């Protein structure tokens, strides 16, 4: 059974940093692209970032480019999102999502339960 | 960026009704269109991929159609457990953006 489980959320001050992790199991991790999708309170889904299966290609939304870094450790079946220079409008539930394929982001076929990041002083 | 416009933004229907949601892309995306269901407090779930393909395990009352710029998502007979917000998502171009969502309620 495919499982993805996020961790690392919490309360962080504006301008601060936070690192999210996503532990994966039940599939060949290195064969699948992975993504982060967020949802601000009461709002819709916003794609944040994706990384190819081998980690060679990364993609970012304009809203986070230059502040967030996606990475993966295929030996540990773990996805990461390093978030720097956090702003109030980064407050959201962050979901880790498995892609059906290994390259560009396409269809997100399995999702974690999400981890809440709150940016506030 | 490709803009995805869903309509309606909210919908109230009765159990057993046929429900239709539309999604329009700002440019041709072929069939690179997925549909997700998000129940309150839960993670999204993939229902339909590549415009018309039913994800494994998803009930057959859900269906999708369309290509190019205009797409339709249909629930043939609404069930109480279908109460959720539904999102379309394109992946023809980066960013793989979502529509704004359609909140479905029981009348």
Q: Which residues contact A81 (CB under 8 A, 6 or more apart)?
A: A19, A20, A22, A36, A48, A49, A68, A69, A70, A94
pLDDT value, residue B106: 93
A5-23 pLDDT, tens digit each: 999 999 999 999 999 999 9
Q: How far is CA B18 from CA A46, B9, B43, B51, B59, in A?
A: 29, 17, 25, 19, 14
Q: How far apart are CA A117 and CA A90, in angstroms?
A: 8
| Percentage of chain B lying above the pLDDT 90 cut | 100
Report the chain B residue with the minimal C-alpha distance to residue A116.
B41
With CA atoms as reference, the chain A residue closest to B9 would be A44
Question: CB-CB: which of A44, A110, A114 is closest to B98?
Answer: A44
Check B96 against A109: CB less than 8 A apart: no
Helices (H) and strands (E) in chain A, counts: 0, 11
**SS3 at position B94:** coil
Q: Which of A100, A105, A110 sits opposite B96 (nearest CB)?
A: A105
Contact B46 A44 (CB under 8 A): no
Question: Distance from CA of residue B65 to its chain's centroid?
Answer: 10
Cα A51–B57–B51 angle (5° rounding)?
60
Closest by alpha carbon to B52, among B40, B44, B64, B42?
Answer: B64
Per-residue pLDDT of chain A (121 residues; tens, 9 = 90+): 999 999 999 999 999 999 999 999 999 999 999 999 999 999 999 999 999 999 999 999 999 999 999 999 999 999 999 999 999 999 999 999 999 998 999 999 999 999 999 999 9
Which pLDDT tens digits describe chain B residue by residue (107 residues)? 999 999 999 999 999 999 999 999 999 999 999 999 999 999 999 999 999 999 999 999 999 999 999 999 999 999 999 999 999 999 999 999 999 999 999 99
| DSSP secondary structure letter of residue B91 | -
CA distance B81 to chain A (A): 19
Residue A44 has its nearest CB partner, among B55, B87, B91, at: B87
* SS3 assignment for B1-69: CCCEEEECCEEEECCCCCEEEEEEECCCCCCCEEEEEECCCCCCEEEEECCCEECCCCCCCEEEEEECC
Residues B77-99: tens digit of each pLDDT:
999 999 999 999 999 999 999 99
Cβ distance B100 to A109 less than 8 Å, yes or no, reads no
Tokens at residue B83, please? 């109460």
């Amino acid at each position: 059974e495919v499982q993805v489980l996020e961790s690392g959320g919490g309360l962080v001050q504006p301008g601060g940093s936070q690192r999210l992790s996503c532990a994966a199991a039940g599939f060949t991790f290195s064969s699948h692209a992975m993504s982060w999708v967020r949802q601000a309170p009461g709002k819709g889904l916003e794609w944040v970032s994706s990384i190819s299966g081998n980690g060679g290609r990364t993609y970012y939304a304009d809203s986070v480019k230059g502040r967030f870094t996606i990475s993966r450790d295929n030996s540990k079946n773990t996805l990461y999102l390093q978030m720097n220079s956090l702003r109030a409008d980064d407050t959201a539930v962050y979901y880790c999502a498995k892609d059906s394929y290994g390259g560009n982001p396409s269809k997100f076929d399995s999702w974690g339960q999400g981890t809440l990041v709150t940016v506030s002083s | 960026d490709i803009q995805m416009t869903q309509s309606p933004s909210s919908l109230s229907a009765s159990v057993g009704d046929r429900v239709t949601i539309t999604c329009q892309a700002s440019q041709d995306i072929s069939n690179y269109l997925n549909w997700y269901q998000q129940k309150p407090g839960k993670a999204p779930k993939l229902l339909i991929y590549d415009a018309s393909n039913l994800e494994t395990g998803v009930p057959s009352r859900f269906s999708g159609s369309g290509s190019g710029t205009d797409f339709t998502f249909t629930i043939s007979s609404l069930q109480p457990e279908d109460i959720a917000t539904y999102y379309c998502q394109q992946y023809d171009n980066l960013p793989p953006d979502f529509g704004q969502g359609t909140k479905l309620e029981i009348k």
